[in-house]
């Protein structure tokens, strides 16, 4: 029995593998590019005090946030060939589209 009905198993496994690899790469890229992003130092101080966390905890959560943001952007490129949102009147419809 196939994993999904809209694409063959080989293609599906390839896409899932690429997505998982991109997720792992997102964490690495977030660490490498951490200082490239402009971070408001005043916001950091307020977050530390408001959330009652230390800098190390803030740093780890900020890395995770940046990695998630990068990963979500990349994920769209894998999903796009399969799904498209159609606007029918005032209703949004999620439709499956094959572009293979």
Integer Cα distance of 68 and 16 in angstroms: 17
Phi, psi of 53 (to 5 degrees): -125, 160
In this structure, are residues 86 and 95 in contact, taking their beta carbons and an 8 Å threshold?
A: yes
Q: 100: pLDDT confidence band, cut at 50, 70 and 90?
A: very low
Between 5 and 90, residue with greater pLDDT: 5
Q: Is the pTM of this model over 0.75?
A: no
Give the count of beta carbons closer than 10 Å to the beta carbon of residue 67.
19
Q: Mean per-residue pLDDT for 18-29?
A: 88
> Among residues of the chain, what percentage have pLDDT more than 90?
24
Q: Is the pLDDT higher at 52 or at 84?
A: 52
pLDDT tens digits, one per residue of 60-90: 999 999 899 888 887 776 666 555 555 555 6
Q: Taking the CA atoms of 33, 37, 40 and 43 in sequence, report the sign of the dihedral they define.
A: negative
* Tokens describing residue 24: 């792992």
């Amino acid at each position: 029995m196939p994993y999904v009905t809209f694409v063959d198993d080989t293609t599906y496994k390839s896409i899932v593998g690429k997505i998982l690899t991109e997720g792992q790469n997102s964490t690495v890229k977030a660490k490498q590019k951490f200082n490239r992003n402009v971070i408001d130092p005043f916001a950091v101080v307020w977050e530390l005090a408001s959330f009652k966390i230390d800098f190390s905890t803030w740093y780890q959560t900020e890395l995770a946030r940046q990695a998630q943001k990068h990963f979500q952007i990349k994920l769209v490129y894998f999903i796009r060939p399969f799904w498209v949102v159609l606007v029918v009147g005032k209703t949004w419809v999620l439709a499956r589209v094959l572009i293979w």
